[in-house]
Chain A
Amino acid sequence: MNLRNLSIERKLTLLAMLTSTLAVVLSSASFLIYDLVTFRSILSQDLATEAQIVAYNSAAAMAFNDEAAATVQLSALTAKQDLVAAVLYKSDGTVFAHYYRAGSPKPELPAPVEGREARVASGHIEVFNDVSLRGERLGTLFLQSDMQRWNTRARQYAGILVIFVLLSGLLAWFVSSRMQRLVSRPILDLEQAMRIVSVDKNYGVRAVKTTSDETGRLIDGFNTMLAEIQHRDKALQRANNDLKTRTQELEDEIVHRKRTQEELLKAKDAAEEASRAKSAFLANMSHELRTPLNAIIGYSEILEEETRDSGPAENVRDLRRIQGAGKHLLSLINDVLDLSKIEAGKMALHLETFEVESLLEEMITTLQPAAERNANRLQLRVHGDIGSMHADITKVRQILFNLLSNACKFTENGTVTLDAERQPGSEDRLYFRVTDTGIGMTPQQQRNLFQYFAQADSSTARKYGGTGLGLAISQRFTHMMRGDIHVTSHSGQGSTFTLELPAKVAPEAAEPSSELPASPPVVETLSDLPARTTVLVIDDDVSVRDLMSRFLEKLDYRVISAPSGLEGLRLAREIQPDIITLDVVMPQMNGWDVLDQLKSDPALASIPVIMITVVDHEALGLERGASNYLVKPIDRDRLAEALDRHRRPDEDSMALALSGDR
């Protein structure tokens, strides 16, 4: 058993017992040894005295050679129990008389020694004493004792010692087992309190202080510690509860917000669905409306032609009215379609570079008949070198057409002038001014001018026709191209509409919400080489990007590359490339996701996308809106062919005006 693992009670008891027992044993043993040593010397002296007496008494017997008397005298020593042998030697060393204790073996007799001598040898005391009479030495007496008394005494003492030690140990145990409580009781109480604290986690427990010694101070310290723990525990509990409450609140809030978010998402989805349905409905409507209109206008034109050749002149006039009404209806439908696209955010800019002056001349030519209808003079004034611009030509044409046709409509016997001017500077801008000498507008009319279905007043529509949508659409187109349109007018004195547009319309202008800063090099490249077909290469593999760049540049494409789907999307919005080649297997955002985003973005949906991948899913690619699908390794000829199909035409032979005549 390890002494160190004993309980404090036992340790203290044992300590007291050991200490006292040791003290008792030591003191008793030293006393015992002292006593026994002393006793032995006493024994030795006694024996020497005895020898003297016997020698004196036996001297006469020896002198008279009376052996019997000597033997009788020695026999008197029988009373001495521990005397083993008594021998009288004559002076010549022979034995004169002797006595041996009965029952003891006959001892070995030593040679006589003259004079007196006492010695202790092998547990015996031996004494020699001269026998002499009146100074004359007659012989030697030898006495031998076996120290029986000493041994008995020693045994008795040992017994007493053992009993004494046992008794004192018992007493020490008895006393110490009571006294140790003075020390151990408070410690055990403290330990008990600690156990309760550690097992029950009850920090409200306090150890009872009964003494003012070190243990008392220990208990004080323990209690202070407990109080501190309890205090902190409570604080922690409070904080925990607070936290729980707040967490719960937060969770509730999160749940609430999630629900709201879900509802919003649902609402958004529903709204988008509704918007899509609306757009689809409008598209269908326009189609369904146009088909019969097509017939109405077409047949009235056929009839007009045939009537002009052979029929009555009044019929020709009526047929023309039918045509005019039909065309008005068509323009209404087109305007509504445009508006719905603008509202749905599906109106995209198709930027290209074109010569401004040829566009303006074309416009004048187109509108000449409309001007002549009201006996107006239509004139074009180009100031300085107007050059080319980079914009959506269709929309520019539509805006100018709207402004000019309005001017012709509201002017009679007057002049409609189109001024065009380039103002290079910090921002290269073009100004188109349409000035008429017509009826003009009141400030009130000017304020409502760009609202939907806003005309000067309801009578205006009856008199002049028009949908009331043209200017609103023109203004939105202008804003899409980061331009501005405004009017100055005085009622009765004509009006001046000013259209200002940047000479180079930034691609992202189509998407006012995504105002990403254009990276300057790209803009520079764009401005440097506006006419080349731009290909955006999206591929995570740098070597593929390099190869594609070199190959495509050889084919005279302008190449911009993006190392990831996200960057590709950003660049696509920024530079509005003519063609995108798209890798499918990319980290983070794969090609399909990029394709979906491209196709769902109205500003980008029209950009043809050529998928280039090792994965053969042509059907899937085409279904998702990819224009082409090439499988790696790339066949250069097929790539060239696919790209060539989407190459920007040198001249916009296929461009068509949606607006038609308006």
Chain B
Amino acid sequence: MKAFALRLAVFALMMAAAVDVRAQNLGSTESSEHLIKAGYVYNFAKLVEWPAWATPKGQPIVIGVLGNDDFAAVLSHAVDGKKVDDRVFVVKRLKSRDPLKDCGCRILFVAASESARTDEIIQFQNASSVLTIAEAPDFAKRGGIIALTLGEDSKIRFAINVDAAAQASLTISSRLLTLATIVHTAR
């Protein structure tokens, strides 16, 4: 019964998200964009696999949100109660000054405001097998894994640097790759 109720809630959320996106498209409100990006982050989590050492059983998947607490709130709300392989989600707000080491994140969402820390983030990502998602459009080209951007047609698009993903020992589902723009690290 509990599962059913949960599923129903997600459904309602998804509907709301769709409505929100539409509304965002019409009205460009920040909250609806957050909501859609939260759904994307959730879907990414389902289509990416971490190396076994990074995801011990029973451990929650920690999503770190750097630089945007509003989004963190929306995301936290969106993934609340959802599971991937019996692992729940935990959303952690990170401050701009917070050290990334030992934050325990498997996914790190980087708001556009934190673009200055990109190199540090990329270092961290490679060292700790963290799926990094950034709103900076050149993030993937600079060595990040996923760049999540709002296109001119108000649709959200994403680009994936498969080299970076491989360097971070992450396996990205082909199904996700078919939907993404594939980029390589510029040298």
Question: A interface vs B, CB < 8 Å?
Answer: 56-57, 59-61, 63-66, 69, 91, 133-134, 136
Contact = CB atoms under 8 A, between A and B. Distances in A.
Contact of B47 (A56, A60, A65, A91): A60
Contacts of B43: 60, 63-64, 133
Nearest to B10: A136
B165 to A, nearest CB: 16
A60 B18 contact: no
Interface stretch (B93-101, B107-115, B139-147, B174-182): B174-182
Nearest to B86: A135
Given A61-B179, A63-B43, A134 B85 contact: yes
Given A66-B179, A91-B11, A134-B84, 11 more contacts: A57-B175, A59-B175, A60-B47, A60-B176, A60-B179, A61-B178, A61-B179, A63-B46, A64-B179, A134-B85, A136-B46
A426 B141 CA distance: 188
B173 interface: yes
Nearest to A57: B175
Given A64-B40, A65-B18, A91-B11, A133 B46 contact: yes
B38 to A, nearest CB: 13
Nearest 6 A-B pairs (CB), nearest first?
Answer: A60-B175, A134-B46, A63-B43, A64-B179, A66-B179, A69-B179
A136 B9 CA distance: 13
Nearest to A56: B175
A139 to B, nearest CB: 12
Contacts of A60: 43, 47, 173, 175-176, 178-179
Nearest to B42: A63
Nearest to B11: A91
Nearest to A91: B11
B71 to A, nearest CB: 18
Contacts of B178: 60-61, 69
Contacts of A57: 175
Interface in B100-142: none
Chain B interface category by residue count: 10 to 19
B182 to A, nearest CB: 14
A136 B43 CA distance: 11
Kindly name the residue among B10, B40, B176, B178 whose own CB sees the greatest number of chain A CB atoms within 10 A: B178
A60 B42 CA distance: 12
Contacts of A69: 178-179
28 contacts: A56-B175, A57-B175, A59-B175, A60-B43, A60-B47, A60-B173, A60-B175, A60-B176, A60-B178, A60-B179, A61-B175, A61-B178, A61-B179, A63-B46, A64-B40, A64-B43, A65-B18, A66-B179, A69-B178, A69-B179, A91-B11, A133-B43, A133-B46, A133-B47, A134-B46, A134-B84, A134-B85, A136-B46
Interface in B143-187: 173, 175-176, 178-179
A447 B80 CA distance: 191
Interface of B: 10-11, 18, 40, 43, 46-47, 84-85, 173, 175-176, 178-179
A64 to B, nearest CB: 5
A57 B43 CA distance: 15
A649 to B, nearest CB: 172
Nearest to A63: B43
Contacts of B46: 63, 133-134, 136
Contacts of B47: 60, 133
Contacts of A133: 43, 46-47
B168 to A, nearest CB: 20
Nearest to B156: A64
A472 to B, nearest CB: 175
A57 B46 CA distance: 14
Contacts of B176: 60
A66 B179 CA distance: 8
A65 B36 CA distance: 11
Contacts of A134: 46, 84-85
A314 B184 CA distance: 224
B131 to A, nearest CB: 15
B176 to A, nearest CB: 6
A65 B21 CA distance: 11
Nearest to A69: B179
B48 to A, nearest CB: 11
A57 B175 CA distance: 6
Most buried by A among B43, B47, B173, B175: B175
A280 B126 CA distance: 190
A60 B176 CA distance: 6
Contacts of B10: 136
Contacts of A61: 175, 178-179
A591 B68 CA distance: 175
B43 to A, nearest CB: 5
A57 B179 CA distance: 11
B132 to A, nearest CB: 19
A63 B10 CA distance: 13
Nearest to B82: A136
Contacts of B173: 60
A91 B10 CA distance: 12
A509 B46 CA distance: 168
A66 B40 CA distance: 12
B167 to A, nearest CB: 23
A414 B11 CA distance: 201
* Max chain B C-beta neighbours (<10 A), residue from A59, A64, A69, A91: A64
A64 B173 CA distance: 14
A61 B18 CA distance: 15
A63 B18 CA distance: 12
A60 B172 CA distance: 12
Contacts of A63: 43, 46
A60 to B, nearest CB: 4
Contacts of B84: 134
Contacts of A65: 18
B50 to A, nearest CB: 14
Nearest to A66: B179
Nearest to A65: B18
Contacts of A64: 40, 43, 179
A498 B128 CA distance: 199
B55 to A, nearest CB: 14
Interface centre among B11, B40, B176, B179 (most CB of A within 10 A): B179
Contacts of B175: 56-57, 59-61
Contacts of A136: 10, 46
Contacts of B179: 60-61, 64, 66, 69
A91 B11 CA distance: 9
A65 B18 CA distance: 9
Contacts of B85: 134
Nearest to B176: A60
Contacts of A66: 179
A66 B177 CA distance: 13
A275 B47 CA distance: 169
B6 to A, nearest CB: 11
Nearest to B175: A60
Nearest to B158: A64
Nearest to B83: A135
B93 to A, nearest CB: 26
Nearest to B15: A92
A359 B84 CA distance: 188
A91 B7 CA distance: 12
Nearest to B17: A65
Contacts of B40: 64
